[in-house]
Amino acid sequence: MNKRISGLSRMGFVGMAATIMALAGQAQGQGKGDDLPAFDKVSEGYEQVVSTTDGTSFYNVWKREKDGQLLAELPRGFERQKHFFAMTMGSGDIFAGLQSGDRYVYWKKFDDRLALIEPQTQVRAGGDKDLERGIERIFTDRVLLEVPIVAKGPSGQPVIDLDQLLVNNAGTFFGGRAARLNSRLTSIKTAKAFPENIEIAIEAPNQSGQLAIYHYSISLIKGTPGYKPRKADERVGYFTTSYRDFSEMDGSQMWTRYINRWNLERPTQS
């Protein structure tokens, strides 16, 4: 009899342990990607931004004018894409109207969060395989910021709080002049969505209280067949994109610089 009770007790203990583990697993899973709120609930009160006749856009964007809120659904295939953020001060700055900076980035999903990552482009190995392996270990990509996924969008892609990305992290994009924006006093000045880019401009008081417009152009980076980069010449004033080639032992030859320019070509006539 005692042996029977002992066996039943062991069975009960195992069953209780399994139940506890299952409940712990459920608790740990709460808030993960599979338990995100419904998009209809998250986007209540928002209006989709439509800027083309067929409604196609790079990021799907929704806005809520009354409080300057924005939502954005990442494009299909974002995991394999490179995106280009170009920033311009629209007003409230001595350099208003001039591009204030740019970021070449990609998104990477970590469960229920997304990291915006800047690829390492400043060091190369000139085709030397041994050097390339060493460089890949030492010079790695850099995480700029991370944001939560708030829902799964109509196209099945992650949805982010776009104004949180652009206002709360304005210092990452614009530098010190936008380090501490008042996110409670923002308004949407421009919100346009096109097949390969979106244009967002937000007005907010800067750290000194002056109203300023922060304009973001976010576009898809694609290869351009036939494009040939042009090396920079120190005698001519160009902005440059540069990298170090560690396969060059001569210090004077280690740096390679290319000018930043538009690929302007005469369209072919049909």
User: DSSP readout, 129-141?
Assistant: HHHHHHHHHHS--
pLDDT over 70 percentage in the chain: 80
d(CA 225, CA 20): 59
Tokens of 67: 């409080």
- If 0-12 CB within 10 Å is exposed, 13-18 middle and 19+ buried, where does residue 162 land? buried
Q: Does residue 14 sit within a domain?
A: no
Same-domain check for residues 248 and 163 = no
8 Å CB contact between 237 and 115: no
Q: Does residue 174 sit within a domain?
A: yes
The model's pTM? 0.75
Q: Does residue 36 sit within a domain?
A: no
Same-domain check for residues 75 and 184 = yes
Q: Does residue 179 sit within a domain?
A: yes
Split at pLDDT 50, 70, 90, the class of 10 is very low
Can you give the residue range of the structural domain that contains 258?
A: 229-262
Give residue 225's pLDDT. 77
Same-domain check for residues 128 and 170 = yes
pLDDT in tens, 141-151: 999 999 999 99
Give residue 69's pLDDT. 95
pLDDT in tens, 232-243: 777 767 677 777
| 3-class secondary-structure state, position 119 | coil
What's the total number of domains in the chain? 2
Same-domain check for residues 205 and 242 = no
β-sheet bridge partners, residue 87: 101, 216
